[in-house]
Structure 1
Amino acid sequence: SRKSRKYNSYKGTIGKVKNNKINRRFKTSIPHQKITTDTSEFKIYTTDKNGKLVIKKAYLDPFLDMFNGEVLSFSISDRPNFKSISDALNEAINITKDCPYRRTFHSDQGWAYQMNKYNKTLKKNKIFQSMSRKGTCLDNSPMENFFGIMKQEMYYRKTYKSFNELEKAITEYIYYYNNKRIKEKLNWRSPVKYRFEYESKVT
């Protein structure tokens, strides 16, 4: 079925497992302070030269602001790889460096987030690292919710036949999600509009 079991990047303890600093305190009234990430897997249905069905995969790595649910950065790749995650991480670090408080970046215990390179990048930027407890998806529910809504709205009823087609659809969806899709808990604003209104009050 399309709702294949969730992609699991857990490979055991291969590096450093960090404490769960977020501890399900997802709410924050400060933009760019609490950021969360995860990887989600998508399938692409193509055919080989003999017309036989080939299922390929793609992986999305977004970094999401818990303040307003905005996707700050993301990368899409055809296999789980550190460079893809690292590119999106560096972009998210750059975008959030205007935060006046110490930032926290949260994730599960996936292999990439345990890597020394990942820890070091956060440390160098004076960012706290937080990790969900093993196998506890509720510890990262803002990210789970985003993937759930996204797949419901742009993926489950559609078949993507190439990586480029899927990449374009994901990119367009994230733009729509950030800029157009309103949420009740943001006073019926889109994530970006909600942040703009907050910033105009503060400055």
Structure 2
Amino acid sequence: MVCELRREFKFPLKQLLAISELSKATYYYWVNRFERPNKDEMIEQVMLEIRQEHTNAGYRPMVELLKQRGIYVNHKKVQRLMKKLGLRVTTFWHKSRKYNSYKGKVGTVAKNKLHRRFNTSIPHQKITTDTTEFKYYDKGVQKKLYLNPYLDLFNNEVISYEISKQPTYQAIATALQEALELTSDCLYRRTFHSDQGWAYQMKNYVFKLKSQKIIQSMSRKGNCHDNSVMENFFGLLKQEIYYGHVFNSFEELEQAITKWIHYYNTKRIKKKLNWMSPIQYRLTYSK
């Protein structure tokens, strides 16, 4: 205000400072600060562009994404600039009730052969799966959507998935068939892991795995840590597109999930994968 009055009405600076009770040193500090060129303007612009695509990237991924664009900035500066630009990481502590597909022993319950050995250096060797539910509204009536993904533990890539309005065996079988075909190139014996949900105990499901000499593995009853990779994946998905949002149709929610899975596979970088996306990591391995 002092600068504007001085510039527009030519008031003496001394008089304006007395009226505003502002010291001369403070006045010149702010004048110099506002007139100083922003040397970080280019970096800030790139960071804003990155956030358009990676909507919930924290400072660590931001450092790596800047590097990929030829901009090398230390993490402390990135933290400071993100704070300045208001680029916060959204966190929701609310968790919805976990979908439980366990209906007792309705078929064959496999032993836990994976034993939480979630790492592998071989693509398509260890696959894990689970089902999760989402809620949406259709003309004001709350309904549910079910997601059945298959995840490759080599790079945590979603290799197949099916979305349905009901928790059906057909939805799981469709995703399973795609996963079986995609992983058939593995030269080592494959392991498919799941919880003890009713669909994974069914004769048809068990037969499909046995017919291809695949080891079937199941988490122990009531032990979510035996399939923590899938739990973490579902948590990440819901954190970034579901919690805090209201979806008003099946199609709207389905599209959001489909779009996010594509982003997750192709662009979402992870420290575990040397700051590459799952598909980038797999392609690098295959070279």
TM-score clears 0.5? yes
2:176 & 2:94 partners in 1: Cα distance? Answer: 28
Greater strand share, structure number: 1
Compute the displacement of 1:161 (Å). Answer: 0.8
Task: In structure 1, give the amino acid aligned to 2:270.
Answer: K
Question: Which residue of 124, 129, 137 corresponds with 1:37?
Answer: 129
Asked if 1:28 corresponds to 2:115, the answer is no
Asked if 1:138 corresponds to 2:225, the answer is yes
Partner of 2:141: 54
Which ranges of 4 or more aligned residues in structure 1 deviate by more than 6 Å?
A: none
1:37-186 alignment, distance < 5 Å? 37-47=129-139, 53-186=140-273
Query: CA-to-partner distance for each residue in 1:26-60, whole Å, 9 max, x for gaps?
Result: 0100010000000000001222xxxxx31100000
1:54 & 1:13 partners in 2: Cα distance? Answer: 33
Point out where structure 1 has 5 or more consecutive residues left out of the alignment.
48-52
1:81 & 1:144 partners in 2: Cα distance? Answer: 20
Compute the displacement of 1:5 (Å). Answer: 1.0
Point out where structure 2 has 5 or more consecutive residues left out of the alignment.
1-92
> TM-score, normalised to structure 2's length?
0.67
Task: In structure 1, give the amino acid aligned to 2:267.
Answer: K
2:207 & 2:162 partners in 1: Cα distance? Answer: 20
Partner of 2:107: 15
CA RMSD, 1 decimal: 1.1
Partner-residue secondary structure (3-state), 2:149: strand
Partner-residue secondary structure (3-state), 2:184: helix
Compute the displacement of 1:125 (Å). Answer: 1.3
Q: How many residues align?
A: 195
Higher RCO, 1 vs 2 (CA within 8 Å, ≥6 residues apart)? 1
Asked if 1:191 corresponds to 2:278, the answer is yes
Task: In structure 1, give the amino acid aligned to 2:110.
Answer: K
Contact 2:146 2:165 in 1 (8 A): yes
1:152 & 1:4 partners in 2: Cα distance? Answer: 11
Q: Which moved more, 1:101-110 or 1:156-165?
A: 156-165
Task: In structure 2, give the amino acid aligned to 1:29.
Answer: S
Contact 2:138 2:250 in 1 (8 A): no
Compute the displacement of 1:158 (Å). Answer: 1.2
1:21 & 1:143 partners in 2: Cα distance? Answer: 16
Partner-residue secondary structure (3-state), 2:183: helix
> TM-score, normalised to structure 1's length?
0.94
Compute the displacement of 1:2 (Å). Answer: 6.7
State the identity %.
64
**Structure possessing the higher radius of gyration over alpha carbons:** 2
